[in-house]
Amino acid sequence: MAKSEAGAQAPRTAEGQQGGANQVMARELGWYASFSVAFGFVSIATGIFTAYGSVLATSGPRGIWAWPISVIGQLCVALVFGALAARIPISGYSYQWVSRIVGPVWGWIMGWISFAFLGVVVVAVDYTIASTILPELFQYVGTTQNAWVITAGVVLLQALLVAASTRITHKVNSAAVTAQLIGMITLTALLFAVGYFTGKLDFAHLFDTATIPESGYYGLGGGTHAGPFALAFLLGAFTIVGFESAANLAEETKNPARVIPKAMVQAVLSLGVLGFLFLVAVTAAVGRVDGAAESATPVATVITAVLGSVVGKSLLVLVVVSIFSCGLVITLSGTRLVYAMSRDERFPGWRLLKRIHPRTATPLNATVFMMLIAQIVLAVFSRSTDALFQLFSAATLLPAVIYAGTVAMYAAKRSSLPPSRGFSLGRWEVPVLLLAGVWLVYELLIFRDASFRGPWAYVLVLCGIGAVYLAALLVRRGRAALTMPDMADVDRALDNATAPSAADTEGALR
């Protein structure tokens, strides 16, 4: 990576020098590619198919009304992240931002938590294919054993694609996102139309609590449990995450300071609207589809019951493609984070993980490493009878911690930040920060519920491992070895790298 493109990250050793063609990742991504990364990571198909059954069990059908509130909260977070991405368009997103604005130790902590999140969320996403969709699609009994084998194969295939070529990965993802947009819009429209004409829609069911008592439904809960409606927020909190993955590919994006914030915000808005319409259609049908509420795969059961076996299964194939692309983007984002931290010589095994393969022009070693981490996480969780719940809970807790830390950092340092080149919150900055802060505090409080002990254990173990490595790093090399360029240096160094040329502007609009 040339010095100007790397955000003035001065190499400290001969091994850390980034000169040479084999260290460059080309800027070749335009707006749609950036939007596809953000949209593909979030993937409403993934989130809803994974977590909808838990919402029915803990909150009843009425729980879907927590979705619009979650969308507003996550949109405020995306706006804050857009303001940061416009100032520091470098691979590594929160790790880079916090390192430069607060300090390298805090940045390292944020980077490690982000690594822990990406390691578990790719397994949660891929496990959804094996445990909720394929059994319905091919009519077989899903078990923890076959779910493990299938998920391991999907994780491996995604890693192979990411390692082979960034361009091919983005082509696959863009095609999958296009298929997801078309498929989810078609699926939602058909559920409304066919469900209405066949009498399988009951809109009164949208306000039903089913087996959940009305008393205390909206209550805050106690010291070790959250109220029924509060638990419903986890559907949106789990689904609408990862939009910041577009910022993790900033060094490969044309005119990133303008393109990336726009892509993130548009992804959250489009997913929020389409996701809610889909939830309304599915929930209106659940009450009139025999066994749907008790099904282990309620969304898939409703789709095949309302649309018929042939049409329903055809659309389920599109959902599998959508979820696969989500895992693909997560793998891509994880490798870029490991690469960015290794390039700065502060990740375990950085000498190997910072290398760009001369033929593929991808961080091959970092990709293999992320694949192995995902396989280990899968092995840890896969023997649990409620593995999917544990995985999606851990994959919701970790980004909430990342978002809260990053938003708090922005709020504390916003007066000292230099002007943005491509995106600014302007007079809306304070209201957006307040809404984002309130939302994130509320979301984190939900995880006091005793059902989240497993996810907390995962977080604590990973943080413990990270703390040991960080302590060893500081003892061996000292705090000075973690020095990062300050914001002024970053902005000066990025002047040429991010200034929109005519060619870049034209490419970013494609």
Residues 310-338, mean pLDDT to the nearest whole number: 84
Question: Does 397 reside within a domain?
Answer: yes
Question: Does 38 reside within a domain?
Answer: yes
> In the 8-state DSSP scheme, what is residue 191?
H
Q: Among 131-145, 195-209, 323-337, which is the least confidently predicted range?
A: 131-145
Q: Are 76 and 322 in contact (CB under 8 A)?
A: no
pLDDT tens figures, 143-153: 888 889 999 99
Q: Across-strand partners of 226?
A: 221
Question: Does 5 reside within a domain?
Answer: no
Structure confidence at residue 233 (pLDDT): 94
pLDDT tens figures, 399-432: 899 999 999 988 998 887 767 777 888 889 999 9
- Half-sphere exposure in the Cβ direction for 269 (13 Å, CA): 8
Q: Are 440 and 407 in contact (CB under 8 A)?
A: yes
Question: Does 510 reside within a domain?
Answer: no
The CATH number linked to 144 is 1.20.1740.10
Cα 265 from Cα 243, distance rounded (Å): 8
Q: How confident is the model at residue 15 (pLDDT cuts 50, 70, 90)?
A: very low
pLDDT tens figures, 94-108: 888 888 888 888 888
Structure confidence at residue 508 (pLDDT): 37
Question: Does 23 reside within a domain?
Answer: no
Question: Six-digit token pair at 267?
Answer: 């992804």
Cα 505 from Cα 255, distance rounded (Å): 7
Structure confidence at residue 26 (pLDDT): 58
Highest mean pLDDT among 34-43, 327-336, 367-376, 383-392: 367-376
Q: Are 2 and 19 in contact (CB under 8 A)?
A: yes
Structure confidence at residue 7 (pLDDT): 35
Report the percentage of the chain scoring pLDDT > 70.
88
Question: Does 144 reside within a domain?
Answer: yes
Residues 63-77, mean pLDDT to the nearest whole number: 96
Cα 468 from Cα 374, distance rounded (Å): 21
Question: Does 178 reside within a domain?
Answer: yes
Question: Six-digit token pair at 56?
Answer: 């029915």
Q: How confident is the model at residue 159 (pLDDT cuts 50, 70, 90)?
A: very high
Query: Who contacts 281 (Cβ-Cβ below 8 Å, separation ≥6)?
Result: 188, 191, 192, 195, 201
pLDDT tens figures, 460-496: 888 899 999 988 888 887 776 677 655 444 444 444 4
The sign one gets for the Cα dihedral 348, 349, 355, 361 is negative
Highest mean pLDDT among 44-58, 119-133, 331-345, 433-447: 433-447
Q: How confident is the model at residue 160 (pLDDT cuts 50, 70, 90)?
A: very high
Q: Are 396 and 241 in contact (CB under 8 A)?
A: yes
> In the 8-state DSSP scheme, what is residue 433?
H
Structure confidence at residue 443 (pLDDT): 93
Q: Put residue 484 in one of left, alpha, beta given phi > 0 → left and psi -120 to 50 → alpha.
A: beta
Q: What is the mean pLDDT of the chain?
A: 82
Q: Among 66-70, 234-238, 374-378, 479-483, which is the least confidently predicted range?
A: 479-483
Structure confidence at residue 439 (pLDDT): 96
Cα 329 from Cα 243, distance rounded (Å): 10
Decide if pLDDT at 346 tops 50: yes
Q: How confident is the model at residue 292 (pLDDT cuts 50, 70, 90)?
A: confident
Question: Does 378 reside within a domain?
Answer: yes
Structure confidence at residue 416 (pLDDT): 78
Overall number of domains in the chain: 1
H or E segment to which residue 116 belongs: helix 104-128
Cα 158 from Cα 378, distance rounded (Å): 15
Decide if pLDDT at 114 tops 80: yes
Which amino acid, 371? Answer: M
Cα 181 from Cα 205, distance rounded (Å): 27
Residues 178-194, mean pLDDT to the nearest whole number: 88
Cα 391 from Cα 465, distance rounded (Å): 19
Structure confidence at residue 246 (pLDDT): 83
Cα 56 from Cα 52, distance rounded (Å): 6
Decide if pLDDT at 331 tops 80: yes
Query: Who contacts 150 (Cβ-Cβ below 8 Å, separation ≥6)?
Result: 129, 130, 134
Domain that holds residue 384: 29-486
